[in-house]
Amino acid sequence: MGKKGQSLKVKVHRHKDKTKEIASLNQQLGLLDLKVVLVTADGNCFFRAVAEQLEGDEEQHARYRQMVVNYLQEHREEFEPFVEDEVPFDEYLKTMREETTWAGHMEIQATSLVTRTNICIHQLKTPRWQIRNFITADTTTIHLSYHDGEHYNSVRRQDDPGVGPAKPFIIEGDATPASQPPPVKDNIKDKSKVVEAATIKRIMGSSGCTNEKRVREILLDVHGDADTAIEYLIAEAGGDASSTGSDENDPGSSAATGVRL
């Protein structure tokens, strides 16, 4: 089992069968022509997934861990206030340098900054979690999946053979922070014409809903607000969208991040 940094609260997870969850997420990602790429579950999974994305070699995880911890140390004044449980910052960094120590919010943010990438985290029936520190068109985005509050994997295009860095792709609506389309006016005679296929595909991919007719109905009901449609469909499917802020479903939560399978 991996171990958490000393600032992270201990939480015992029951054993969960990931096979079904990963299969369901793969089906959801398939709507976006994406797939989950598995990495070893040994407490280093976040750094393994990052290394797999950037180099195609998860065994480079230790190098990325050290890069991230060095960045935290060099930018102490920015990160030290966020260490929990009054653990001395130097002690926190010492623990985080050790293999199998789980990553948290700070490590995810520092990874984005030190690698100069944005990060997108995919979850089952949950809106994607985005970290956007860079807005230039040529910025690489690391795509990860997060499973049952316990494990990270890599996400690639379905046509990506997995050799070398992940092939880049842009998910419609995620290219810019202003991803929400303008509202649709009720007096349009044929509302179906204003619902673009790309928006439908994005909503289906984010919500996990495979019923295109239902997606169109909800999108029209919420006047073209794609994000609201996603939240509604998640809630309708029995997934509580508000749970994304809970320990178990928040990719960067101190109680859930980077745990091995």
Q: Is 45 a catalytic residue?
A: yes
- Using CA atoms, how far apart are residues 86 and 236, in angstroms rounded to an integer? 41
120, 151, 174, 209: the catalytic one is 151
Neighbours of 158 (CB within 10 A): 11
- Using CA atoms, how far apart are residues 45 and 53, in angstroms rounded to an integer? 12
Residue for token pair 């490590």: 107
- Give me the DSSP letters along 52-106: HHHHS-GGGHHHHHHHHHHHHHHTHHHHGGG-STT--HHHHHHHHHSTTEEP-HH
33, 42, 227, 247: the catalytic one is 42
45, 120, 209, 225: the catalytic one is 45
Catalytically annotated residues: 42, 45, 151
